[in-house]
Amino acid sequence: MHFGWGQSITVTAIYNWMLSCGVICVPSELNGVTAVASKPGDILKQEKRLRQAEYLGENILNITKKLKTRK
């Protein structure tokens, strides 16, 4: 999916707000994963987004394990 200027600014504002609320940054293939679908199930046809989400999920699991061992 390609973002136009307005969408990019909006997503950036949301990400910045999340960071200001204490969200932990986790590496991904891109700077986060954002996907849009028109109909239920359409997202399952976006293999690249699913792969990016899986990679992000694996990194979240890894950072969670690291944080858990610090306590």
Grade residue 6 by pLDDT with cuts at 50, 70 and 90. Answer: confident
Which has the higher per-residue pLDDT, 1 or 52? 52
pLDDT of residue 31: 62
More confidently predicted of 13 and 34: 13
d(CA 31, CA 55): 12
Query: Are residues 11 and 34 in contact, defined by beta-carbon separation less than 8 angstroms?
Result: yes
Range of the structural domain that residue 12 is part of:
5-70
pLDDT band at 46 (very low <50, low <70, confident <90, very high): confident
The total of structural domains in the chain comes to: 1
DSSP alpha helices (H): ranges in the chain? 5-20, 47-70
Helix, strand, or coil (residue 40):
coil
- Which is more confidently placed, 24 or 17? 17
